[in-house]
Amino acid sequence: MWFRGHRIGRWHLDPTLSRKHLLNRELELTKRFKQNAFQFLSRIPSQEWEWMFLMQHYGVPTRLLDWTENPLVGLYFATREEQFKSGTIKPEAAIWCLFPQKLNEMAGMVLGSEEDIPAFGEEQELSDYLPSHVGQTSSSKNPLAIIAPRQFERVYAQQGVFTIMHREARHIEQLHPAKGEPKHLVKLTVPRKSVAAIQRELDILRVTKLTVFPQLENVAEAACQL
């Protein structure tokens, strides 16, 4: 099972590229990113999918959606502190729980083992989901659950995994399994009154900003809080 925390429970499971209505500008965003990225990279990506994951890591809108294999990390994102407008009612948070193999079965992606998850560089069928290929297929496909090498410290710390959309923005929560088939997704609501207590418990368990985002600036912030 995979997990994704939303601090606002009504949010869709929607990649940034779709959420910001930039699907028709995906290749343009990639070109612009490449234009200035080379001088900052110690290793230049050699494949299109590597560029896509690099862009995702640095906040460029992509067709990828982040998930985690660690439920506590999902809970951290559901309850992390954010500013709400004064006077507004703070909404309930949510944790989405995904059965990745079930999602892939709905998309027609079935591998040899029931526990296996497709990965770029390993399964040729995933090339249809690449930005340069997605417009060449005859029909749109369902989102897939995928894995990739955890090349960045943050992705490793968060035990990151991903879903990837195809041509159309099909919300994962709105997909319907065949009659009689188990659900691929479960939504758990986090009441707003429980958020503070959960945050304290996560601190005790050392699921903090520093452990989820292991960066030097967060080391300094953690030291100042002692």
Decide: 14 and 96 in contact? Cβ < 8 Å.
no
Q: 110: pLDDT confidence band, cut at 50, 70 and 90?
A: confident
Does the structure show a pLDDT above 80 at 226?
no
d(CA 64, CA 96) in angstroms, rounded, equals: 16
pLDDT 10s digits, 173-193? 999 888 878 799 999 999 999
d(CA 72, CA 113) in angstroms, rounded, equals: 27
Tokens read off for 207: 């699921």
Question: Mean per-residue pLDDT for 132-157?
Answer: 88
Tokens read off for 96: 């989405």
d(CA 122, CA 137) in angstroms, rounded, equals: 20
Does the structure show a pLDDT above 80 at 108?
yes
The whole-model pTM stands at 0.91
The mean of the pLDDT values for the chain is: 90
Domain residues of the chain, as ranges? 2-31+47-82+89-224
